[in-house]
Amino acid sequence: MHVVVIGAGIVGAATAVELLRDGHRVTIVEPGDPGGEQAASYGNGCWLSPSSVLPVSAPGLWKKLPRWLADPLGPLAVRWSYLPKAAPWLLRFLGAGSSMAKVRKLATALQPLVHRAPDLHKQLAEEAGVGELIHKTGLLYIFPTRADYEAQAESWQVRRDNGIRWIELNQDELRQREPSLDRRYTFGLFIEEGGHCTDPGGYVAALVRHAQAQGADLIRAKALGFDIAGGRLRAVRSSAGAIACDKAVIAAGAWSRDLARQVGDRVQLETERGYHAMITNPESFPRYPIMPSDGMMANTMTVHGLRVAGQVEIAGLDAVPNWKRAEILRDYALRTYPGLPRNLPPERVKVWMGHRPSTPDSLPCIGAASGCADVVHCYGHGHIGLAAGALSGRLAADLVGCRTPVIDPAPYNPARFN
């Protein structure tokens, strides 16, 4: 079949490679540079984490909504001007994790997407000739005290129930592994099965080049919609004209909602705007990717420098960035690694903002469209887009080819929002 993949982020790139593996003809439609700075895949936290099974929503989160509205620089903020538009998504978001029973159910659904992430990405990267970008060195969660970890014990038990194992590190053991850390951190959890990518943008670009080398076409255009007749897909309409095809995959990230509506699915998809600060040539940096409990941002050494990524801002696709949020990440890095100079010159700090495509229940949308089975949804991965991208690409290709799916796609059915 001729399959059009709409979007060349990590999910679209992995889907294209898997479709080619199955013998299909593939056309990728992407208006920007694959792996370019406009893409969420470029600026994420670099983690390939089997432990990323918890939904963003959690019990009691509704109590924090007034704080989100009042503090534009908090770790999760909602812009007042965008609140009316975001309200339906926010209400469903608050309900999704309103009990631990709901959290456990969502974690069970997220686990298959990420539990083999480092190995699957290593395989893809090696096929694309960039195996050196994927590392399975482990991931380190750090806490000021053991009591801070114990305060999150219920969440960590959910991880344990989903097969995640870790090594506890006391103050001396943590210092041996990470001598660069500020001494306020005295307890850690080391997850050996974790991995990371040292250049997500370069990795995605290499996957698309690999797909092209295997015969895929890349059309630099924006997908506008679909030509459907008698319930069957005839073409994908784009700014470069109609592209005749047998099937299509929507993998356009945060820009997928309007395309989904055209094929019968009113998905609740919002952009969780995320930021990062990149410190070039850092004098001090972590040996392992680190997640501090008191900051909840990913600290990862990349080929371009020390990347500190995090923050959630609900403000839509069109609002201008609030670069003070990236400055918070920079300042946090300075407090976490005392060996960094206090007076970093601006030219050594690069800031970025991108759009995580997020559903209120943290589950992606993967499945056939309600209005045309020839169109397959594959987007909405939120904070786990990079980690879940490899498995999601395989699953989307299975659904396109009507093969036995690699995992049960039922939890990710886009029609759950209809």
C-alpha dihedral, 157 to 144 to 69 to 88, nearest 10°: -20
- Give the whole-angstrom CA distance, residue 387 versus residue 196: 9
Q: Which two tokens stand for residue 265?
A: 């699915």
> Domain 2-54+105-269+360-417 carries which CATH code?
3.50.50.60
Q: 291 by DSSP, 3-state: which?
A: strand
Q: Is 148 exposed, middle or buried (0-12, 13-18, 19+ CB in 10 A)?
A: middle
Whether 27 contacts 217, CB under 8 Å: yes
Note the pLDDT of residue 76.
Answer: 85
Q: Which two tokens stand for residue 318?
A: 């069109």
- Give the whole-angstrom CA distance, residue 177 versus residue 289: 12
Whether 142 contacts 292, CB under 8 Å: yes
Q: Which two tokens stand for residue 35?
A: 């792996």
Note the pLDDT of residue 336.
Answer: 96
Say if pTM beats, i.e. exceeds, 0.95.
Answer: yes
- Give the whole-angstrom CA distance, residue 53 versus residue 61: 18
Helix (H) or strand (E) holding 352: strand 349-358
DSSP state of 381: B
Residue 347's contacts (CB-CB under 8 Å, 6 or more residues apart) are none
Note the pLDDT of residue 61.
Answer: 86
Note the pLDDT of residue 296.
Answer: 86
- Give the whole-angstrom CA distance, residue 6 versus residue 30: 7
Helices (H), ranges, 115-180: 117-127, 146-150, 153-161, 171-177
Whether 107 contacts 162, CB under 8 Å: yes
Note the pLDDT of residue 277.
Answer: 97
Cβ atoms within 10 Å of 120's Cβ, excluding its own: 21
Whether 238 contacts 363, CB under 8 Å: no
Note the pLDDT of residue 71.
Answer: 82
- In whole angstroms, how far apart are CA 51 and each of 190, 197, 396, 407? 11, 16, 23, 18
Whether 229 contacts 220, CB under 8 Å: no
Report residues of the chain scoring pLDDT below 70.
Answer: none
Q: Where are the beta strands (DSSP E) in 16-103?
A: 25-29, 47-48, 76-78
